[in-house]
A and B are shown apart, each in its own frame.
Chain A
Amino acid sequence: MFSELFLPVLMVIFMLVVGGYAVAVLDRLVASALGTPQAGGIWLAPIARGAWLLIQHANATEAPDWRAWRLAPALYLALAAGGLAVVPWSASLVATDLVTSVVLWGSVEALATVVIFLHGWSANSLLALIGGYRYVALGLSYILISMFVLIGVALPAESLQFTQVVASQEGLWNVIRQPLGLPLFLIVGLGMTFWGPLNLADSTDLAGGTASEISGPPRLVWDMARAAMLVAFSGVAATAFLGGGLGPWLPGPLWMSLKMLAVLSVLLLLGRLLPRLAPERCVTLMWVVLLPLSFIDLVWAGIGALL
C-alpha cells in the first residue's frame, strides 16, 4: 500500500519543489550570463522572494469570482503535478505508468488553457481578462501542433505509454529519427508555460496580464506553478525525444535529470533571447507555418514506422 500510494505522491511533490527551485536558479544564471545583473545571490534570492511573497497581503479586486481566482494557481500547479506523475525516470521508476500517459499529457495541455483563462477571467479586471483571452487563442493554436508531434513519437513505440516511447528509442533517439519533432515541441512548451517569446498571457504590455492583480501567497503559487509546469514539460520532452533514462554508464534517473536540465536551459535561454511575438502574428505563425510543419513531422514519422 505504501509503495503504491504514497511513494509516487512523495516523488511528485519532491520534483515540484526541487524542479521549481531549479528553474528559478537556472533562469537567474542564464540572465546574469547574458549580462542582466540579478539582485541578491543566485541561490538564495528565489527563496527570499518566496518567503517575502508568503508574508505579503493578497490583493483583492472589486467583485472577483473568488473561488475560481484562488483555485486557478493551485489547479495549474496540480496540472504540472499530473504531468510529472507520468514522466518515467527509468524503466521501472515512474509515479504512474498509465497505458495512455501520452494522452494524459495532452489533457494537461488542454486543461492548462482552461485554468489560465479562468485565472484571467475571474479577477474581474480588464488587463487580466485580455491576458486570459490571448491565452485561449494561443492555447487552441499549440494544442493541435502538440498532438501531431506526440502522435509522431507514439507511432514507432506502437503505444501511448511513455515507458514504451522510451523503450522504442533504444536504437535511435526520436530527436534524430524525427528531426522536426523536438523544435516544434519546444515551441509548445514555451506556449503552455507562456514563457519568453510566447508570454502573451502575463506579458509586460498588459502590466502582468492574468497575474496583474495577484500578490502575496496566490502570486507565489502562480509563479511556482509556472516553474513546475516548465519542469514537467522538460520531463516530457526529454522522455519523448531524448530517450528518457537511456544512456551509458550512469543510472537512468541521473541521465533523465541531465536531459531535463538541458531542455530547461534551452527553454530559459530562448525565453531570455527571443523578443515577445505580437498575439496576431503568433496565431498566424502557428496555424500557417507550424501546423503544416507538424503534419510533415507526422507523415515523416508514419513513413519511418512503415519502413
Chain B
Amino acid sequence: MESMNDGIGVDIAFLLLATLAVVTGWRVFRTDSMVRASFFLLVSFIAVGVIMILLAAEYLGVAMFFMMAVEMTVMALFMVMFMMNPAGLNPMNMVHQERIAIGAGIAGFLILGAMALLAVFPDQPVPADLEPVRSLGNEMLGDSMLIFESAGLVLLTTMIGVVVLSSHRGRYGAAAEGSMPPGLEPGGDPAGKPEEDEAGEGEHHHHHHHH
C-alpha cells in the first residue's frame, strides 16, 4: 500500500496505462475484425481497471477484469454467430456513417476535454483507514440496496427470457418446427429448400397451408 502513495511511480504507471487505454481504444475502430476489435476493447478496459486500482478502488478495478473478460468473449462470439460477415481473419471495414461518427467524436472530445480542464474536482485524499471492499458492500446493501436489487432482478429476468426464447426445446415442441427460411427475393421460395419433384409439390404446398 505504501508504494501507492509514492507519487512518481504511480504517475508513471498512470501515464503508461492511460496511453495503453487510449491507443487500444483507438485500435478498436482501426482494426478489420470483430474478434480483434472486441479484445482491443478488453485491453483498454483492463488498463482502466488497473487505473481504478491505483485510485484505491480495489474491488471495482479487479471486478472490471473478470466482467469485461467474459463480456468481450461473449460479445465477440455472438457477433461471429449473428453477422453475415463477422470478419474473423478476413479483413472488413469496421466503420460506417463516418461523417456523423467524426462529428460526434469531435463534439465528445471537446465536451469531455472542456470538463476535464474547467471543472473543479473535489480534493479529497483517500483516508488511511479506508476499507474499499467493506465500504462498497455497505453502500450496495445499505442505502442503494433498492436500486441494485431492482437492476439485478431486471437483468436476471432478461437472462431467463433470452434463454427461453433462444432454447430449441420449448413448451410447445421444438422451436424450429414449421419455420421456414426467408426467400432470396420478396415473396420467393424459401432459400436453401431442397428441390421437390413435380408431382409431390402441389400436394405438399396444399398441406402446408392447412397446417
Contact = CB atoms under 8 A, between A and B. Distances in A.
Interface residues of B, number: 24
A65 B36 contact: yes
Contacts of B14: none
Given A99-B132, A100-B133, A113-B70, A107 B65 contact: yes
A136 B73 contact: yes
A109 interface: yes
B39 interface: yes
Nearest to B69: A110
B70 A98 contact: no
B58 A63 contact: no
Interface string A112-145: 0110011001101000000001001001100100
B70 A103 contact: no
B73 A113 contact: yes
A63 B89 contact: yes
A197 to B, nearest CB: 23
A287 to B, nearest CB: 10
B62 interface: yes
A31 interface: no
Interface in B68-119: 69-70, 72-74, 76-77, 88-89
B58 A111 contact: no
A65 to B, nearest CB: 6
B73 A107 contact: no
Size category of the binding interface on chain A: 20 to 34
B15 interface: no
Nearest to B77: A136
B89 A110 contact: no
Contacts of A160: 59, 133
B69 A114 contact: yes
A140 B65 contact: no
A99 B69 contact: no
B70 A118 contact: no
Contacts of A124: 89
A106 interface: yes
B74 A140 contact: yes
A81 B88 CA distance: 30
B168 to A, nearest CB: 13
Contacts of B65: 104, 107, 110-111
Interface string A79-101: 00000000000000000001110
Interface of B: 2-3, 35-36, 39, 42, 58-59, 62-63, 65-66, 69-70, 72-74, 76-77, 88-89, 131-133
5 contacts: A98-B58, A110-B66, A114-B42, A140-B70, A159-B133
Top 8 closest A-B pairs, CB basis? A107-B65, A110-B69, A110-B66, A107-B66, A103-B62, A111-B69, A100-B62, A124-B89
